[in-house]
Amino acid sequence: MIDSPVHICYLTHENKSGDIFNLESMREALHHRIIYSFLLLVLLFTSCGQAVPALSPSLPSLRSLAQAHGIYIGTTVNVDALQEEGQYRDILAREFNMVTPEVSMKFDATEAERGHYTFAEGDTLVAFAKAHNMQVRGHNLVWYTALPSWLTTRHFFRDELMAILHEHILTEVSHYRGQVNIWDVVNEAINDDGTLRDSIWSRGIGPDYLDLAFRWAHEANPQAQLFYNDYGGEGMSQKSNAIYNLVKGMIQRGVPINGVGLEMHVSLGVYPPPEDVLANMKRLAALGLEVQITEMDVKIQSDSRPIQVRLDAEAQIYRDMLSACLSVKHCTAFVMWGFTDRHSWIPGATGHLDAPLIFDVSYHPKPAFFALMDVLNKELIQKKERASDHP
Ligand code: XIL
């Protein structure tokens, strides 16, 4: 479906990342970002100058297909790109009906100074979402990182830390009441071995900080859907067992939790078997919880196969994970951590150029985009056939 100029673009991308630039030796994430931006410009001018297919207006949008399934399809949003790039805005509005702020609603972004709140960036995103009839996933209220230095550089007694967190949650959730109705309340609180992650919250308040955070978020907006969100617990593992037990315990204690977010940051070499993801989703659903895939991306850089093989393998992983979501009634959203390789967080985090998302750096749809469209289409046809067989 996608024709050769797009592949040429990727071949050049591969050659450049492999032969000419060695980002491995660079340490600072910021440094990576600057270099990466420069490389992107080089790539744009050198490798993608040919006529490449745009999205055909005759294709249905992902969001229209997702809506027909009753699920949301979403992406994280980089507010700078939203404000600066028309193509970014156009694709975002056309293809998605759910957005997550990439950084704008995190603790350090909203309360950089104690008691002084900044919601301008988040408000920009919320306004865009409202104008385009999109849901917003608020992300996130309690995390071990992205904390302001006033919080991390001095010791607080338990009562004081509880008051700080309570006030932060009340202020932010109340600010967005009626506009943001889904929140990742606690993010990434469990280690890979299933133990509770060490953080200022677990150390300063104790393990009950999770229950408290959910209760406080509910207090601020009783209508909001409240999620526990984590990575590496998508399939069946020690970590996903621990998450399952955590949320089961919360429900038993009457804590207001509505769902679990499965981040799904994976790579061609390391991803959970789709049947395990399905099994995990089903056991969470059996607790009465919703499940959402919240941050999917697929790293393809550390794989030596030809680029087209990698792009097809990437597409297959997207296909499988969306299929898993579509086959569980309680899976209500499929969200990616960005939609264009131009603005993925992966190069900054790993120090390697990569292509983990469904549009390339020049906003052309990749095989992964068409895989998602295909799954949504096929499953719709099958659902209609089943409905007409059993009216
Ligand atoms: C990442 C952002 O993409 C980066 O821009 C930021 O520097 C660090 O955080 N899991 C999460 C997200 O829940 O909030 C993280 O986002 C990616 C991993």
Q: What is the pLDDT of residues 9-32, one digit of tens each?
A: 333 333 333 322 233 333 343 344
List the residue whose alpha carbon is closest to atom 13 of ligand 1: 187
> In this structure, are strands 290-299 and 259-262 parallel, antiparallel, or unpaired?
parallel
Look up residue 103 and give its two tokens: 């950084």
Confidence of residue 283 (pLDDT cuts 50, 70, 90): very high
**With contact defined as beta carbons under 8 Å apart, do 240 and 282 qualify?**
no
Are 259 and 291 in contact, with CB atoms under 8 Å apart?
Answer: yes
pLDDT digits (tens, 9 = 90+) for 348-362: 999 999 999 999 999
pLDDT in tens, 66-116: 999 999 999 999 999 999 999 999 999 999 999 999 999 999 999 999 999
- Cα distance from N-terminal residue to C-terminal residue, the chain: 35
Task: Enumerate the domain spans of the chain.
Answer: 4-389
More confident position, 7 or 65: 65
Residue 4 has a pLDDT of 32
User: What's the CA gap between 48 and 54, in Å, rounded?
Assistant: 13
Host H or E run for residue 297: strand 290-299
pLDDT computed for residue 381 by the predictor: 83
Tell me, in angstroms, the distance from the centre of ligand 1 to residue 187's CA.
Answer: 11
**Ligand 1 binding pocket mutation candidate from 337, 339, 354 (most atoms within 8 A of CB):** 337
Residues near ligand 1 with C-beta < 6 Å?
102-103, 187, 263, 295, 345
CA of 70 to the centre of ligand 1 (A): 27
- Cα of 29 vs centre of ligand 1, distance in Å, is 12
Ligand 1 binding pocket mutation candidate from 79, 102, 293 (most atoms within 8 A of CB): 102
In one letter, which amino acid is 12? T
Q: Structure pTM?
A: 0.88
The answer to whether residue 188 is catalytic is: yes
Reported CATH class of domain 4-389? alpha beta
338 touches 358 (CB < 8 A): no
Between the CA of 4 and the centroid of ligand 1 the distance, in Å, is: 33
Residue 244: how many other CB atoms lie within 10 Å: 19
Q: What mean pLDDT is reported for the chain?
A: 88
Instruction: Tell me how many helices (H) and strands (E) the chain has.
Output: 16, 9
